[in-house]
Structure formats: structure tokens, C-alpha cells
Structure 1
Amino acid sequence: MTSLWNKIPRVVYYMDLLEPVVSLGKWFLGKAKDTDSVEKFENELASYLFLDSIKCLSHARICLYYALKSYENQEGDEILMTPINLPDMVNMIRILGLKERFVDIKRSDYSIDLVDAKNKLSEKSKFLFVTHLNGFIPNMNEIEKFASDHNLILIQDTTQNFGAKYNGMPLESFGEHSFFSLCDLKVLHTHMGGALVSNVKERKIKVEELTSNELKSLRFSYLRKFLVEDLIANLILNRIFFNFFVFPVLKLITFYVGSQNIQDLTNGKGVKFGKVVFLKGLFGGGGDVLSEEVPADMLYKYSSLQAEIGLKRLSYLERVEKRRIYFAKLCESKLTIPEKNRFKRSEQEHVFWKFPVYCEDWITLQKYLMDRGIDSARSNLPCLSDLDYLKSSDKTPVAQALVKNSIYIPLHFYLKDDEIEFVIDAVNKYFEGGGE
């Protein structure tokens, strides 16, 4: 059970507390400017995931940018895309003169609704961009067939499905391009970064050509922000510091200004007290911004500094993944909540990057768990079709409801078995008591 000594944070940070300090030292040794270790990391990462090759870039969104740029596109070509992702993904699309069309997802497992996708097809439809969420594995045969039947180029964001397989095949082996993030809160965290998988030789060559010509060395002024974020996040999520300082502060903020303020902080919007906003831009970049070009600082070469962190992570990643998946399966088997609050998944080997519970009265559930020392949260990814500044006319009501009403239960790999049992018991008791 939880006590004064072991409150449970909402998220886990896959990085050592001193790693940002070590990276600062490596910067002065020139590791951020050389790429000597990058190829080794790319090869070992590809081997770990049973893939032929991987190209590491600065961010996941930059992976999307170069994946799209590797084609001969016409102004106004359309991308059918699932709507739960970073807003900056839309920037990458629009910068290239393309147009996004948001496609709804299924309530059962967050996978793309191909019926809605078919309804939104047009003569300009060229790409199908699917983001897989929560570690749930969709029916890739159906998705690939849909793309083939309608002459669409399939691109996947597998960030939350790292290491997942469909019928024994890596998810990234489907489609022409796939990518995943290597930034904060990801199981393979290298301060920042993204990994691009290109399955078509012609596209792979084009990506190499583009990145060789356009990418520069990593600048310290850009790296510094991520080092600071990582240092602060590690401190905040340190179990002792979280117990005695962060958790009480979270309760106070939630009580006085609402839980949305905590989510705004992690999205880069800061914490608002009255008309004053604090810590804006600390995490996530500082809010909703439309860009006309890719920021120059983002166009950097993945560095040895990052690659060496990645190589270290790979050495124990399998153990971490197995532990988290074990806890998720245990939770799934022991939860006695109503079917309407569960998610129905296929028989695939899901990797459970997150464990959501659907609850329209999520605020009450969150407070109930917090009173028992369990910090929980909704997704920090928005439903993009709902963002007013994007001015989309596409309707995605299921995605909107899932973003609004899904709350994630913390099942971190480092927790003890009795702590996981305590979390499961708390969720069950909430619903047994009439919670919805």
C-alpha cells in the first residue's frame, strides 16, 4: 500500500537523475558535435527491434517531415491522419504545402476508424498517417489493405508502441515509413530525438540525401533547454522528493485551481494563478503556435552524446519493458470495473505503454486516487481537430471523448508488486462504490 513514504507519481521518467549533468560534461568534450557513435546506436536499435535499418533524427516530428518530403508532392495533397498527436505534426504537414484531414478512431482500442477514413477520401488523398496509442496493437492487415485499395502511402507513428509486433512482425515493417520518439517519458529517452524507419529503398536514399544536405550540428542553446527539463523532471519524479514536496503541492494546485493546470504545465502552457502564468514553456514548448518553416534549431544531426545514452538504455531495456507489460496484464486480469469503462483489445501481444480507464467523471476518480496516494492523469496529447487555431472542419467525436474522459493508471516498472495490487484495488473500489 502507499504511505507517507511511497506516493505514486503519474508518470515515469526513463533517465537517471545525473544524466543531464553528465551530458553537460560530454558537451564540453565535443560529443554533441560528433556523430561517431550514431551508426552503432542505429544498428543496435534496429537489431533490438528486428528491423533492417533505422535513421536517427532530431525529433519524431522531423522524422515525419523528411518522410513526407521524400516524395514528389503537389500543393494541397491530403493526409488522412488520426487526430491524437502533437500539434507540431500539423506544422510539418502544412510547411510542405500539404493538407491534413482528421480521421476518427475506435472507442474500443484507439485504432483508426477506417469507415470514417473512407468517408473523408478525396481525389487529393495521398497519405494515410496513423498514430498508434497506449501500446495497443491494431489490425495492421486491415489498415494496410485500406491503404493499398485506395492508393495511399502508409506512414506510422509508433512512439507509444515501441517494440510491438503484429502477428510476429514489427509494427514498423508495415507501410513505407514509420517513426518513433526518443524524447522525455519514452522508454528510450536520449534527451531528444526521433528514429525513422524507411521500408522503400528509393525513399531511404532520398531521406539520406535530404538530411545530409540540410542538417547542421546540434547547438548548445537548443540542447540546454532539454537538459534543464530533464534535470527538473528527474528531480520532481524522484520518489523521496515526490513524496514530501511534489505530491502535497499537486494536491494544493488541484484543490485551488484544478487539475487542468497540471496538464497545462506538462504541455508547455505553464500554471495559471488568476491572470498570472508561471513556468510557461518549461515542458512542451509553450503552447499552440503555427509555423511557416521548420525552426532552424530542430534541423540538427543526431549526436554521439545522444547515441551513447541510447546504447546504455538498450542494455537493460528488455527488463524494463517486461516488468511494465507484466504489471499491465496483471491489472487487466484483476480489474473488476464495468465493461463500459474498459478497452477491448485484440489477441495481439500488446506492449501497454499506458493503461487507460474510461471514466466520464474522471475528476472524481482522479481525486479518489490522489486521496490514496496515487497520482493519475489524462493524456497530454490533444485531439487536434478540436484546436480552434487549426481551423479544421473535420469531426472526430470519439477521439474527442477519449482525450477528455480517459485517465491513465500508473503501473510503473519500478513499483513493487504490493503497490501495483494497491493501485488495482483502489480503482476497483472506486467503481464498486458507484463511481463512473
Structure 2
Amino acid sequence: MSWKIPLFKIYWDESDVENISNCIKSGMYWAEGPVIQEFEALIADYIGTKHCVTFNSGTSAQHAALLAYGIKEGDEVIVPSFTFISTANSALFVGTKPVFADIEEETFGLDPDSVLENISSKTRAIMPVHYGGCPCKIQELREVADDYGLILIEDAAEAFGAEINGKKIGSFGEASMLSFCQNKVITTGEGGALVTNSEEIYQKLKLLRSHGRADNTQYFSSTQTSDYIALGYNFRMSSLTAALGISQIQKTAEIIKLRRERASYFISRLKKEVENNVHFSEIPKSYFNVYQLFTILADKRDELKDYLAGRGIMTKIYFSPVHLTYFYKNILGYECKLPVTENLARSALTLPMHPCLTFDEIDYISNEIKNFYGD
């Protein structure tokens, strides 16, 4: 369907085209090489970590993180259900059990109190999600992880550039996953990364993403015979993807500025005109939200979604709880009591948000929401 106002558009310019073109014209290093190393260095410097390893997706990065930390069958990993399904699935990939804790209403992230209630003797890690570009209560979760000797792996797929008191999201955990899928703050179409301060984990991640190959030479341009010392996967990011990432990351500040301006205007319009029917979370002032998603809590959510679709405005439900999906409920047999998750999921609706969204388009959307509620 062709939408009058789509949910998102990709922010790009000629530097993206130029970087990819230069990579293509080089005639080599399309699969590995200096471009990837440059992108990794830029990411690590931006987040404020010692190391970065890129992957072909955020899901692959998250999978590799659990493998690198030796999380396995018999272990448990605490995750939210209010997330994209890959957060929970990555635990299944390594044979461990995802345990769902509830979320809190301020940031839509894991509730530290619910996490405490779900810690068992089998718990090895906590994997919180920074929902929609808003930091979760990661400082409190850091304290819980420290108190119980647990690994904290941030799912920062939606929060590139978000901060708490000037400290970048992605720098609180032992490791943090980033995603560069097409609707993220910066994008390479598909792609992901894992950042960490651990040299040991860094070395393991490099083995995991490339078949367990032990050498530090460029495989495709070296005569050296490689040795394979561990089980690994083909999780590599291509150089073409990394070239796009290099140009995208240089636009991060502008992209975030544009998103925040549009979100602020959206909030002011909706609070003024439909404050009785549309609600927002009130996040702490020290939290810097990058608005990868712009989600409202709406009365008669499903009817509003259909109404807006009829007027060419795309919206989407981010997210339907993972524990209520057919796979988790009927195949895996999950039965969870997550009242906040289920309550918020019944009213959450994500509206269009991207750097190119015009203020006239925001006015149109706001007016149609106002018309729906008859205010």
C-alpha cells in the first residue's frame, strides 16, 4: 500500500551514495577490510566503549553476545515481553530460557522490581530493552546485576544516541547490541553491532562472527593458511554496508535533532487538542530520548489505527507482547502474569516519526486524531 504519510523514511544524502560508490569502485574488500574497521572504531568512539564488532544484523549480534558469555542450556535470561521477538528468541538460539519480567510505565522498559522477583538460581543475565529510543531504568538494573552477579546485556537496537546524564546508552552493560535496520536512528539497511569494554569478549565475538577463524590477517587477501579454533558463524557485515554506516554515523547529531524537534511539536499538538484521549509517559529529565519511535497511549486504539489508515496515515503497534504470540503461548507453553505489559500493549500506537516528517504532516495527523475523538 502507498501511504500518504508512511511510518518512516530513511534520512540520506549524497555522502551515502558517494561512500558506497567509492567502496564499489575499489574493486576489492567488499566483504572485509579497512572500511569495516573504520566503522567499528567510529561506533566505539561514539558510544564510549573500548571495542566494537559489527554483524550482519542486530539479532546476530545479540545471539553472539550470549554465546560469547557462555550462556547455555539450563541458564535463564530475564527479558521484557514488550519488545521485538528477537530479544527473547536470541536466548532460545543458545538453548537457554527467556524469563519475562514486567515493564514500568515511565520508560516502557524492564521494571527493576519485577526483575528482582524473577531472579532464580538459574539466572545468568538481564537483557533490558531501551524502548523506542528512550533509555530504560538502566542504572537501577545495573545495580541489580551487580548485586546478584549477573551479566547485563543492553538491547539498544532502538536507542542509538540516547543518554542518561550525558552517558551514552550502550555503555552501561557488559555488552550492548545496536541495530542499523532501515527504520533505526542511523541505518545501513540491515546490520548490527556489539560494543563492550572486555578484551576477552571482543576476541570471542570476532571468532563467532567468522567461522571461528583465528588469524588476524585479511582472509581474502592473504596467502596464509587459516586455523579454526572454535565453532563460529557467518555473521559478518559487508564493507558496502559499513561504508554506508560511516556516512550515516556522521549525520547522527542532525538526525537526532530533527527527530526531537518533531517529537516535541507532536507532543505539544496532541496534549493541547486530545489530552483526554491520548497519553504519554513522563520520563525523567536526565533522560535523553532520541525518538526512534513516537508511541502514544490511545483510547480506542484499534479503532484509531483503522481510522488513520483510511486517511493514508500509517501507524503500527509496537509491540504486541512476545509471551502472547502463538509460538510462545501455544508451542512453548508460556503463561505469564505481566499486567503492566499487557495493559500498555492494549493502548500503545506508534505514529509516523522520521527526520523528514514535515510540520504540516504532523498537523494533518494531529487534526485527524482530533477529528476521530470528536474534540
TM-score, normalised via structure 2 length = 0.82
**Alignment-derived partner of residue 128 in structure 2:** 130
What amino acid is aligned across from residue 385 of structure 1 in structure 2? Answer: H
Say whether 1:399 aligns with 2:337: no
**1:155–1:176 contact (8 Å) kept in structure 2:** yes
**Mapped partners of 1:87, 1:304: distance in 2:** 28
Q: Which SS does the other structure have where 2:357 is aligned?
A: coil
Q: Which SS does the other structure have where 2:290 is aligned?
A: coil
Say whether 1:346 aligns with 2:289: no
**Alignment-derived partner of residue 375 in structure 1:** 314
**Worse overlay, 10-19 or 128-137:** 10-19
Output aligned runs, 1:105-254, within 5 Å. 105-214=103-212
> 95, 100, 103: which one pairs with 1:102?
100
Q: Which SS does the other structure have where 1:196 is aligned?
A: strand
Task: Write the deviation string for residues 98-131 of structure 1: whole angstroms up to 9, x where unpaired.
Answer: 1110111123320212222222111111100111
> 239, 251, 254: which one pairs with 1:319?
254
**2:315–2:351 contact (8 Å) kept in structure 1:** yes
Unaligned stretches of 5+ residues in structure 2: 219-231
Give the 3 Å change call, closer, same or farther, for CA 84–6 of structure 1 in structure 2: closer
Give the 3 Å change call, closer, same or farther, for CA 166–215 of structure 1 in structure 2: farther
**Alignment-derived partner of residue 67 in structure 1:** 65
Q: CA deviation at 1:135?
A: 1.4
**Mapped partners of 1:349, 1:86: distance in 2:** 22
**Mapped partners of 2:87, 2:139: distance in 1:** 25
Q: CA deviation at 1:63?
A: 1.2
TM-score, normalised via structure 1 length = 0.71
**1:411–1:420 contact (8 Å) kept in structure 2:** no
Q: CA deviation at 1:133?
A: 0.6
Give the 3 Å change call, closer, same or farther, for CA 61–6 of structure 1 in structure 2: closer
**1:51–1:170 contact (8 Å) kept in structure 2:** no
**Alignment-derived partner of residue 10 in structure 2:** 13
What amino acid is aligned across from residue 254 of structure 2 in structure 1? Answer: R
**2:68–2:204 contact (8 Å) kept in structure 1:** yes
**Worse overlay, 347-356 or 365-374:** 365-374
What amino acid is aligned across from residue 320 of structure 1 in structure 2? Answer: I
What amino acid is aligned across from residue 203 of structure 1 in structure 2? Answer: I
Q: Which SS does the other structure have where 2:51 is aligned?
A: coil
What amino acid is aligned across from residue 214 of structure 1 in structure 2? Answer: G
Q: CA deviation at 1:14?
A: 4.3
CA RMSD of aligned residues (A): 3.1
What amino acid is aligned across from residue 332 of structure 1 in structure 2? Answer: I
Write out the 4+ residue segments of structure 1 that deviate beyond 4 Å after TM superposition: 14-19, 27-31
**Mapped partners of 2:205, 2:323: distance in 1:** 29
**Mapped partners of 1:208, 1:56: distance in 2:** 9
**Alignment-derived partner of residue 389 in structure 1:** 327
Q: CA deviation at 1:46?
A: 2.6
Aligned residues: 347
**Mapped partners of 2:197, 2:337: distance in 1:** 32
Q: Which SS does the other structure have where 1:393 is aligned?
A: coil
**1:60–1:195 contact (8 Å) kept in structure 2:** yes
